Each structure stands twice: as structure tokens, then as C-alpha cells.
Structure 1
Amino acid sequence: MHADSGNHDSSAGAGTAAGRSGDPGAFDVLVLGGAGVDTIVHVPELPLPYADSYMIDGGIRARAGQTGDFVALGLAALGLDVHHLDFLGDDPEGDLVRALHRDKGIALTTVPQPAGTKRAVNLVGPDGRRLSLYDNSRGRPDDRFPADTLRALAAASRHAHVSITHPCAEALPVLREAGVGISTDLHNWDGENPYHEAFAREADVVFVSVAALADPEATMRRIAERGRAEVVVATAGAKGAQLLADGEITHVPAAVPPGPVVDSNGAGDAFAAAFLFGRLSGEPPLRCAGFGALAGAYACTVPATQSAALPRDALLARAAASGR
């Protein structure tokens, strides 16, 4: 794994795939999809009662960072060599995403998106909970990643983390053909929506929130039985997580946040990044989940208007101190 900095921002038609070291096969993780911009609004309470207007003392701010961006950021902070591939618009929001990757030294390949860069509005309550409003007009049904670029990047990577944003489902067969390990985060899947099925079926590691699941354990087992998943993790915020590995479900306690909880945005992405760091380092699933809990807790202490991730040395030190 390579920890040196650098950035590769290219058009998807270039068909090149080399890590920061310049060597083919130098990427630890290809992150697919999930690039965008969130507008953060701190509200006095959630749900927000109807009113003609609210005065927002904390300001209303746009910052780069959606699920794929945050997973890439978390992986890079842990010393992994990451390449992010997604559609971006030629717009101010796309410029924010490009700047984030450049500033953090994360390689980025973009596909032009005439519909514009993905956007969302996040309402954040005083307790750190959030309500996300996603603009699903920033894509077209016939969007597809260029096959040659996708194959080249997959061939140069050890693992691929696939966001559930369109058109990532269509990329799954190419990734599987390339023989790369696959993970995905189903987020607040209800266990029934067919859109998520392809992701749940094709991934080796599946993350899902319990937020909309009537029976998390049954859903976890169904994911493993119907698909390729070796590990399924159901996250439950302050209640910890459930880990399904080798047919056994184990409760993973939540970690104590290292500071005041100000925002839960990005906690699941931080959990996934730290889990994958452990997996790619050869750690057993339970220890990987422990890493995830520590990184997720740290993410809850980072204001939504900022982009920061737990560094590798800090994660390992906290893991040693907590016995995880």
C-alpha cells in the first residue's frame, strides 16, 4: 500500500490506470460513484415544524462530499491508495468535488455529466441527526461508465467499493469479471426495494443501516444466502452494529466518541472505510468492525461543514487502547 500524496484528474476517455506511484496495479481501492455536493443547514429541531421562514444562525454552506467522496477520504486518511471514478458536471459543484480530491491527494477520473453534479440538502438537528434531501435529477437513465476505463481501473485495483448511485449497478458485472473484491453500502434500504438487489447480490462485503429494516438479522442472512457476501454489517448508530461472518451474528458495541457529537453525516462512510482498511490489511471481520466503530464515532465529532477523517495512526492507537 502507498501512502504518498498525489492526484490524477482525467477524463474517462483516457483509458489510463496507474496509482500515485505510477505503477499499474498500485491502487488499493477503486471507489465508484457517490461524488457530489451537500448544502448543510443547521435547524433548531428535527422534524422541522412548518413555518414561513427560519433564521439559520450557523449559516447555510455548500461543501463537497457525498458517500463516495467520504469513503475515498476515509480510505486515503488510513494510508490506502484510492482512485475515485464518477460522473461530474462542468459546474461550480463539480469544481468543489475536484478541489476536494486535489487537496486530499485522492486520484479522480471523471465522466462528463450534462445534467450536472449530484447535490443534496442536509438538515442537521442540534443532536447531530440529519435529514437528507437528494436531487435525483442529476443523471440520465442511459448513463454508463465507459467500459474501457472501468476495466482498466478495476484491473489496477485490489478492491472496489461501489456506491448505490446510478449507474453503478451496471458496472457490477465488469467488476466481477475483473476479479476484484467488491463492497457496497445499501444505506437505509428497507430490505424490499428491488433497486438495491443487484448491489446486495454481487458484493463480497455488504453494509446496511438498520434504520428502515423490520428484521435486520433476517435481512442480513437473506443477503448472504442469495448473493456472494462473505460479510454483512448492519449499523445502528449509537447502538453499535451487527456483524454476520461465517454464519454467526455478533454484536459490535459502539465506540465512545472522542468529543461532543455534532453531526452523524458521514459516520456510515467512515465505518465502511475503516472496515475495508482492516479487511485489506488481513484482519479478521470482528476486528475490522471494531475499526469501523472507532472511525464512525470520530466522524460524529466532525461538523457537517468540514471534511475530515480519522488518520491511520490515530485509529490504531484508539484500537489498541480500547482492545478492539
Structure 2
Amino acid sequence: MAPQHTEYDVVVVGGSGVDTVVRVGSLPVPLADSVPVGPIEEWPGHTGGNVALGTRALGLRTALLDFIGDDWTGSRVRERMAEGDVEFAPVTSPAGTRRAVNLVDAAGRRMSFYDARDPAGLRMPRDHYLPWLGSARHVHLSIMDFARFLYDDIEDLGVPVSTDLHDWDGRADHHREFALRSDLVFLSAAGVGGDVHALMREILEKGRAETVVATAGAEGSSLLTREDGGSPVHVPAAVPPAPVVDSNGAGDAFVSGFLYGRLAGRDPVECARLGALAGAHACTAPGSTSLISREALLEPDRG
């Protein structure tokens, strides 16, 4: 499948799949043979899919490249991307479409059981992804193993690239190349066993990143750029516009809002503020069903 346009604002690579959401009273779930729960729901998205849907909802021309299976879950992903007007260019994986089971408590907190299922040695054909990368203003790589092999071509093309390390502890080798070869790095403070600010500085010192953002849910985010002189800036979390239902996809929405600001020429602190607004909005509905619009993100009274 060739690109339909000569330019895309964002090309997302990897990270699509289907979440099975199970709502429980509390986390961790007590050990029992059977636990009554509310309705079990299926939501296509996952991290890359959610970023693609979120940036498209903000008016950015967006494409998603990934592997999915020729299966029921893959058809759900296709349908969701079509509904969200995201151009989807998948390659069929014999291993099937990725899945996750997410336990969500009454406060919207979650615990995810992720079935990556991509086989070792999986590679996306170069003639499939190169035309898309060549038409991108910005590339966002999910931390799928196959995605790391696109870095050389991205650098040769001179396209800015971001990634989300999620709950990286700063030690696992799988994430390191993504951390050190991206221009913009997101990570979750929850996964860092030690000093998150020290890890952010390390990414800047050892890698090519211009900006590192550590999100911490209701505690807001920390922002560090090469121009900050080693002093992180705290950006408060936004107040959700409605009761919190589900934090699934909130971090992906933050990334979408931040990328919107970056591509609009906003400064990093303003980008993080927009990310916080998008993330808070995402918590008010299940799955990726509450995507903030550009008009809502930029309301004058947001301050």
C-alpha cells in the first residue's frame, strides 16, 4: 500500500492491537476461584494505535504502519483506524494481532497483561515503510523490536523521531536504543526505580534527544531539554472535564497533545500543557473513545 498523500504530519510505526478491559473493585485483585466483574469490553488501539487516533483527532494528517494478523482482532484494528480516519498500512503477521488484558479499578487505575506475540527476528520490509517515512514531517516509533531497525533510514532522511519508553526502569536493554536514538523521548516515572530526573539527564547526555518528558499521572509531568541546564520543569496535570472512568490510553493521549504542540511550533512547556489536557480528557471514557478535538484542546479559557 503506497502513501495517498505527499506529506503526513505524523507517521506512527508499531504498537497496534486490542485491549480486553476487565473492571474490578480494587487492585491487586484478591486471590479467588471466581471474581464477579462488570461487563468485559474490547477496545482496539494500543499505544501506537492510540497515538495515531489522537493526533488525527487533533487535525494532523496521520498514518500508521504495523504488523497485524489476518484474524478477528486484526479486523477490529482495521475498523477502528478507518473510523478514526487514520491511514493504516499493515503488513500481515503470521503470529496474529497483539492483545492485552487490562484490569481497571474503580479509580481508573490499571494493570495490563500484554501479549506482544511478535516472533523474534520480525522485520518490516524496507520497500513498505520507506515511502511513508519519506513523506513524514515527524515519525513516532513504538517500542516494538522491529521498529528499532528503522532508525538508520529515519536518520538518513533527516526526519525528527519520538518514542514512548512507557515504564522503562532505565536498565532494560530493549528500551535503550529507542531512548538514545530519538529526538523526543517520553517515559513513565512509575517504572523508574531510582531518580527519574537523573535518568532524564542520562538520556540527554548519552543520546540525541532534545527533550525528555516523564509523566506521572495525577502528579503531572517533568520536562527536561538541552537548554534547561539540568533543571527539570514541572508541568501540573490537568483536571479531567468529567469523572475519571479509565486511565487506559491517557499516556498516549498526552503524547498526541504534545506532538500537536510541537508540530505547531509551540515551546516544550506549552506542548506538555497541551499533552496534560489531552491526557485528562482521555480518562473520562473507556479505551480510546474519548479523543480530544483541536477546538477543545485550544479553548481560549484553558489559560
The answer to whether TM tops 0.5 is yes
Provide the secondary structure at the position in 2 that maps to 1:116.
coil
Tell me the number of residue pairs that the alignment of Structure 1 and Structure 2 aligns.
299
8 Å contact kept, 2:284–2:290: no
Amino acid at match of 1:18: Q
Per-residue deviation, residues 151-209 of structure 1 (Å, max 9, x unmatched): 11110110000001231111222212221110000000001111101100111110000
CA distance in 2, matches of 1:296, 1:85: 23
What residue number does 2:140 align with?
A: 161
What residue number does 2:150 align with?
A: 171
Provide the secondary structure at the position in 1 that maps to 2:191.
coil
Mapped pair 1:84 → 2:64? yes
CA distance in 2, matches of 1:291, 1:243: 13
Per-residue deviation, residues 267-312 of structure 1 (Å, max 9, x unmatched): 11000010000000001111001000101111111123x5231000
TM-score (norm: length of structure 2): 0.96
CA distance in 2, matches of 1:193, 1:108: 30
Amino acid at match of 1:69: G
Mapped pair 1:59 → 2:39? yes
Give the C-alpha shift of residue 18 in structure 1.
2.8
Provide the secondary structure at the position in 2 that maps to 1:158.
coil
What residue number does 1:68 align with?
A: 48
CA distance in 2, matches of 1:81, 1:28: 5
Q: Which runs of 4 or more aligned residues in structure 1 lie more than 3 Å from their structure 2 counterparts after TM superposition?
A: none
Provide the secondary structure at the position in 2 that maps to 1:258.
coil
What residue number does 2:243 align with?
A: 260
Amino acid at match of 1:157: A
What residue number does 1:198 align with?
A: 177
8 Å contact kept, 2:182–2:209: yes
Per-residue deviation, residues 37-80 of structure 1 (Å, max 9, x unmatched): 01110011100010000112x21122211000100011001000
Give the C-alpha shift of residue 212 in structure 1.
1.6
8 Å contact kept, 1:65–1:307: no
What residue number does 2:280 align with?
A: 297
Per-residue deviation, residues 204-256 of structure 1 (Å, max 9, x unmatched): 11000000211110000000111111010000000000000213410001111
Mapped pair 1:308 → 2:290? yes
What residue number does 2:21 align with?
A: 40
User: Gaps spanning 5+ residues in structure 1: where?
Assistant: 1-9, 11-15
What residue number does 1:222 align with?
A: 202
230-239 vs 175-184, which moves further = 175-184
Mapped pair 1:18 → 2:4? yes
Mapped pair 1:130 → 2:110? yes
- Residue among 111, 132, 153 paired with 2:91: 111
CA distance in 2, matches of 1:302, 1:175: 35
What residue number does 1:271 align with?
A: 254
Amino acid at match of 1:303: P
TM-score (norm: length of structure 1): 0.90
8 Å contact kept, 2:11–2:140: yes
8 Å contact kept, 2:23–2:103: yes
What residue number does 1:186 align with?
A: 165
CA root-mean-square deviation: 1.0
